[in-house]
Amino acid sequence: EAGVAQSPRYKIIEKRQSVAFWCNPISGHATLYWYQQILGQGPKLLIQFQNNGVVDDSQLPKDRFSAERLKGVDSTLKIQPAKLEDSAVYLCASSPTRGGTEAFFGQGTRLTVV
C-alpha cells in the first residue's frame, strides 16, 4: 500500500514570497490533515478535511495560509506571503475515518524562509 506522498521535500524561499505544498493521501482515506511542526516541537494541526469539505481550520492563519482539496483526494497548502516564523516542516496525514483511528503521515516538506 502506497503511503502519503508529499512534494517538494525541501523548499527555501525569501520572506514575502509565496509557496505551495502538495499532498496525495493514501487511497480511500477520507480524512486529510495538514500539520505544522516547528523544530523541537510536536506537530500542530492547521486544517482538517473530510472528503473535500473543511472540518476544522481554527488554527490556520487565514490571512496568509490557504488550503484546498477540490476533488476530495489531493490537497494543496499555500502560504502567501511567507514570514520567517513559517519556517517549519509541513506534514500531511490521512486516515480512513475521523477520530479514534491512527493517522498516517507523509515525509513532510521542510520549508526555510530566509
**Which residues make up the interface to other proteins (CB under 8 A)?**
4, 33, 40-45, 48, 55-56, 91, 98-100, 102-108, 110
Residue 41 CB, shortest distance to other proteins, in Å, is: 5
Q: Given the complex with other proteins, which of 77 and 108 has the nearer CB atom?
A: 108
- Contact between 5 and 108 (Cβ < 8 Å): no
Q: Given the complex with other proteins, which of 80 and 97 has the nearer CB atom?
A: 97
For residue 75, the one-letter residue type is S
- Contact between 76 and 56 (Cβ < 8 Å): no
Residue 16 CB, shortest distance to other proteins, in Å, is: 27
